[in-house]
């Protein structure tokens, strides 16, 4: 079983914000693969979906409802609910879909490990796994144009129309990167899809 964990915040207030770009891609992947609708998975975990259609058996897409800063709690609950065997290997079987201010809108990078880099959602996941050794697809949302703009406020704001078009324009290739990760692993996906610079 492979697990895609899309980070974001629940509720209409956050739906269209930069911080939820991982959820946007998760929705696109579910549509692309003919997945079942997202449905609740326990009181603590929140909305999840199991993707089995369109040639993608053995893949689950999860959108935690624990809020960004507690994403690791959702992951821990998901893993605890799984059968003991076969054991899931985070380094090979988990890919986190997450926003990244270090990349401009329309860019993405596949990473096989790394520190959270100040991202509270990734920090929560790393704490839950007691490891930074898990894959992530970092989706660019750009930096604030002014250093005086609070970063937390920035990621909880909406993109401009031009930025959103750039971000959504990258989704077909980002979806291909996820599929390549599923078929060939994180190293191969990094080599094929990461642009220099």
Catalytic site positions: 19
Residue written as token pair 């979806």: 175
Residue written as token pair 């490891």: 131
User: 56, 2 in Cβ contact below 8 A?
Assistant: no
Three-state secondary structure call for residue 27: helix
Q: Hey, what's the torsion of the CAs at 104, 8, 3, 108, to 10 degrees?
A: 0
User: 135, 110 in Cβ contact below 8 A?
Assistant: yes
User: 45, 99 in Cβ contact below 8 A?
Assistant: no
Residue written as token pair 């926003």: 99
User: 25, 97 in Cβ contact below 8 A?
Assistant: yes
């Amino acid at each position: 079983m492979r697990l895609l964990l899309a980070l974001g915040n629940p509720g209409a207030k956050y739906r269209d914000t930069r911080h939820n770009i991982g959820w946007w891609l998760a929705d696109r992947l579910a549509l692309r693969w003919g997945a079942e609708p997202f449905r609740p998975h326990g009181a603590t975990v929140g909305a999840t979906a199991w993707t089995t259609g369109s040639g993608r058996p053995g893949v689950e897409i999860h959108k935690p409802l624990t809020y960004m800063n507690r994403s690791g709690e959702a992951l821990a609950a998901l893993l605890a609910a799984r059968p003991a065997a076969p054991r899931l290997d985070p380094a090979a079987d988990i890919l986190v879909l997450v926003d990244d201010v270090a990349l401009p809108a329309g860019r993405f990078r596949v990473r096989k490990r790394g520190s959270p880099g100040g991202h509270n959602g990734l920090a929560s996941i790393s704490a839950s796994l007691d490891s930074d050794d898990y894959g992530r697809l970092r989706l660019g949302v750009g930096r604030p144009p002014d250093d005086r703009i609070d970063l937390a406020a920035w990621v909880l704001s909406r993109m401009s129309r031009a930025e959103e078009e750039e971000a959504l324009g990258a989704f077909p290739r980002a979806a291909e990167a996820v599929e390549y990760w599923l078929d060939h692993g994180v190293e191969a996906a990094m080599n094929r899809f990461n642009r220099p610079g």
